Structure 1
Amino acid sequence: MMNIRMTLATAAFGVMVSATATAAPADKLTTEQVKAIAEEGFIYGLPLVMNYAIMNEYAVDPKSSQFKAPFNQVKNEPRVFTYKDTAVVTANSDTPYSLVWLDLRAEPMVITIPTVTDRYYSVMLNDGHTYNYGYLGSRATGGKGGSYLVAGPDWQGEKPAGIDGLFHSLTPFSLAAFRTQLLDPADMPNVEKIQGQYKTEPLSTFLGKPAPAAATNPNFLPATTAGIKGNFWTYLGAALEYIPQADEDKDIRAKLEQIGVGPGKTFDLKSLSPEHQQAMLEAMKAGDTKIDTYLASGLTDVNGWQLGSLPGDRAHYNGDWLMRAAAAKAGIYGNDADEAVYLFGRLDANGQTIDTSKHNYSITFTKDQMPPVNAFWSVTMYDGKSQLMIKNPIDRYLINTAMVSEMKKDANGAVTIYIQKDSPGKDKEANWLPAPNDTAYLVMRLYWPQPASESLSVLPVGKGTWQMPGIVMVKE
């Protein structure tokens, strides 16, 4: 689960400027109509814009500090994310990533994975809508190796011999995100060995046949995650160039056309009347507030933690743009609930904002209430405002399953995690999760959570028999 570094709710929205843009047709609409369309359009478009900007930084612009690799080339990261990674926030620091942005226009791509039995791994396929449309790995394919075909929206072929499965992306550009569990710091060479066996290749190469004609240069409009606030509508139009219209979004896309936002259009806020300009800006803020409200109240409260099942596939969202936007803002590229469940912690067990500049906190797991997962769990610390990881003297950004054996326990076998900005003392540092000198944001990740068929279960989300313990303020 990732999220781009963005604080729309508190930042002033910039002006989108284009020397070549023509006047938008919004002058035929009332101010109220413009505001209503823009608010709905912002909620619809936020995940698309976030994805478009990340794709540009990771796969399009080689000068970007966050560039990974060109399209169709796997980039293995033999490390976990730290405070130095700033393109995304609420990043996972449990599983070193391997990423490949797929260009599926000319022909399908084949993803080959090895058999892995000694740890959790997964491959998540995510399209330009930010729909998760397929999985490979420990849970989905039983940890068995194989070759899988990923095809774009226009490919009509049949699954060839030697291919173990076929996935269809709704968009011509798609992300494949590989997660490989790191058991401890000394385990990295083993992770690298597995990563080295991840492979992508065009279908023609896999079959030993001549390649089809190459696709034209897409000539993407440059975009950055930092530029989203000032260029949202222009970025949205650029993203929609490569997102075929579907039944569920034809109405909102028709509305966006009315205010000059769509494929082939360059939006210029200055071309609107002052009243319409103000309406657009107010609409974006209102839309962002709706997303925040959904995240604050639309999820299940469990001892102060917010628990939900936001990410998913097309059928999961079913045109619910607010849910999709909330999923992206909480952590873009999050997993389906069957693969991982997320709990978001901004409040303590008493419903008060966690402020580690003023107070120390703790979480205690009793011996019989450790998180019930088939893979592993983790609690990761982020700054409450930026949602980036925290630079700290022991270079620790999370507590996870693999660390429990080294942590101090009480006489009954319970484990307490100390959440504070300063060390609790050398004798307790094994249990210390360093926190910011500010408000804090914690994310609990439960990988391959146990289903309802188990006596202690996480699923169904919000209705499982296991409950996450609350974050408790330590009395001075």
Structure 2
Amino acid sequence: MATPASALDTRIGPITLEGQLPDRASIGKLYEELDFQQATQAYLWSLPLVSYAQWEKEFHDKLGARNGDLMVLTSYEDKLGVITANATTPYILGFVDLNETGPLVIELPPGPTAGGIGDFWQRAIIDMGQTGPDQGKGGKYLVLPPGTQAPEDARDYYLAKSQTMNVLVGFRVLDPDPAKGKALVEQFRMYPLKDKANPAPTRLLSPDGKRWSGTQPRGMEYWQRLHQIIQREPVNERDRFYMAMLASLGIEKDKPFTPTAAQRKALEQGVQMGELIAKANTFAKRFAQARYWPDRQWDTVLNITDPSQRVAYYDQLWERSAWFYEAVTNTKGMVSQTPGLGQTYLGAYTDAKGNWLDGGKSYTLHVGANPPARQFWSLTVYDIDSRCLIDNPQRKADLSSRQDLKHNADGSVDLYFGPQAPQGHEANWVQTLPGKQWFSYMRLYAPTEAYFDKSWKLDDIQLRP
């Protein structure tokens, strides 16, 4: 007697059953769905790794950086490739492949800097500067590759034990005097430990107007970048199941990337859906504590509670995916809860009514008197598509307390955003672009107690009539 056939209605359409099992014609459809799901999840998991791999490749291929060089980003043009860069302070950044150098020495000069060393999963290894163990006094750091023992003279260094072979070394100069900042940068040194007796000078480079992009690539290029960086990294224990998903899609360590037609289809669909989910996860966060003030639209953008990305019983996968889709790097100073130390970030993706911010419309933001920042505050405008500084004809993306803004009599300030400058308020305006959406970050450097106890509130961005 033949087993009766039936159909089960599913999210991917009807699946024909022979008894309790899918019929042979449905097996391929189910595997196709599995591969699509694996590609989507692999995209969201790998965002921080691909982000750094893309950035490193652009520095090498387009800007001429070699292993261990430092890129100095000072101008508006320099920073256009950095995801959610601040537009106020210089960035000094370099990628180092420890496969080539072995243990790495970093000599940080004393002075007002903030930064750190991070692995390629964008986990902070150690802070440097004001929030690091040197506390702004400078010192020597030693970066050890995975599995490397500390040398006998390790007590002479601040040790940074990396879990990846590739690392980012970066810091910001906080001194408002450009000449002092330049002098400080020129004292920075980075070299292999094996060369400590006679280290070569650290090369300082600039983009010199060249276009580059640290935004994660789309389409098959995303997976190519992931395959390339996997070849140069050890597999962390926490990632072995994701590596199994990638193997199903043709991406494996020590094997070439030659996906079949079916794998390619899954990868192309997965990267598309993955980015759509990343946008929802980033710009409409559903984390319980994301909204900083319950009656405001401002989000805490960095919801990773510890730079290790680890909490008691799991690693913060979705918080990590959100932050590293819209931003790069993570240090202890960026999540500091100590008044007067580090910096904090608030993000606005909508206006006061919850509508996405439209580059063709005009908005205003009222910043109350005495913002809770011991050093300075800044409000920066970013392009939604690239998550980089808005690329406007004005060549300006930020408004900050370091600028000569027009203040109200009570010490508050009104900021303006839109295609045209409001008459009489040109100094307080950032130009937005019709046809392009935008979002903003409010940064508070050395936030004070009024930020943490929420006694000071930031108004929402308001649509202007």
Asked if TM exceeds 0.5, the reply is yes
Over 3 Å counting, the alpha-carbon distance change for 1:151 and 1:394 in structure 2 is: same
Q: Match of 2:360? A: 357
Matches within 5 A, 1:49-64: 49-58=50-59, 60-61=60-61, 64=62
Which digits, 9 at most, give the CA deviation of each residue in 1:254-290, with x for residues without a partner? 2322332121233334x233xx544433333332232
SS in 2 for 1:457: helix
- The TM-score with structure 1 as length reference comes to 0.77
Over 3 Å counting, the alpha-carbon distance change for 1:410 and 1:233 in structure 2 is: closer
Give the Å deviation of 1:100: 1.8
Over 3 Å counting, the alpha-carbon distance change for 1:351 and 1:466 in structure 2 is: same
Runs of 4+ in 1 over 6 A off after TM superposition: 26-29
Q: Match of 1:48? A: 49
SS in 2 for 1:52: helix
**Is contact 1:149-1:163 (8 Å) kept?**
no
Q: Does 224-233 or 162-171 show the bigger shift?
A: 224-233
Over 3 Å counting, the alpha-carbon distance change for 1:109 and 1:423 in structure 2 is: same
Q: Which amino acid aligns with 1:344?
A: G
Q: Measure the CA separation in 2 of the matches of 1:197 and 1:177.
A: 14
**Is contact 2:309-2:316 (8 Å) kept?**
no
1:348 aligns with 2:348: no
Q: Match of 1:16? A: none
Give the Å deviation of 1:167: 0.5
Q: Which amino acid aligns with 1:367?
A: A
Aligned length: 407
- Looking at secondary structure, tell me which structure has more strand per residue: 2
Q: What's the % identity of the aligned pairs?
A: 25
Give the Å deviation of 1:161: 5.7
1:377 aligns with 2:364: no
SS in 2 for 1:352: coil
Q: Which amino acid aligns with 1:206?
A: K
**Is contact 1:182-1:191 (8 Å) kept?**
yes
Q: Measure the CA separation in 1 of the matches of 2:67 and 2:184.
A: 21
Matches within 5 A, 1:137-152: 137-140=129-132, 141-152=134-145
Larger Rg: 2
Which digits, 9 at most, give the CA deviation of each residue in 1:50-90, with x for residues without a partner? 211211121x33xx1x44x211233333x2333x6543332
Q: Measure the CA separation in 2 of the matches of 1:86 and 1:139.
A: 26
Give the Å deviation of 1:29: 8.0
Give the Å deviation of 1:329: 0.9
Q: Does 29-38 or 170-179 show the bigger shift?
A: 29-38
SS in 2 for 1:375: strand
- The TM-score with structure 2 as length reference comes to 0.79
Q: Which amino acid aligns with 1:457?
A: Y
**Is contact 1:147-1:162 (8 Å) kept?**
no
Give the Å deviation of 1:433: 2.5
Q: Match of 1:219? A: none
| Counterpart among 95, 105, 108 of residue 101 in structure 1 | 95
Q: Which amino acid aligns with 1:70?
A: R
Q: Measure the CA separation in 2 of the matches of 1:182 and 1:381.
A: 23
Q: Match of 2:106? A: 111
Q: Match of 1:367? A: 369
Q: Match of 1:175? A: 168
Q: Measure the CA separation in 2 of the matches of 1:277 and 1:109.
A: 39
Which digits, 9 at most, give the CA deviation of each residue in 1:364-394, with x for residues without a partner? 12224x1x23433211122344434345565
Matches within 5 A, 1:406-421: 406-421=404-419
Over 3 Å counting, the alpha-carbon distance change for 1:192 and 1:91 in structure 2 is: same
Q: Which amino acid aligns with 1:111?
A: I
Aligned-residue CA RMSD (Å): 2.9
Q: Measure the CA separation in 1 of the matches of 2:246 and 2:335.
A: 32
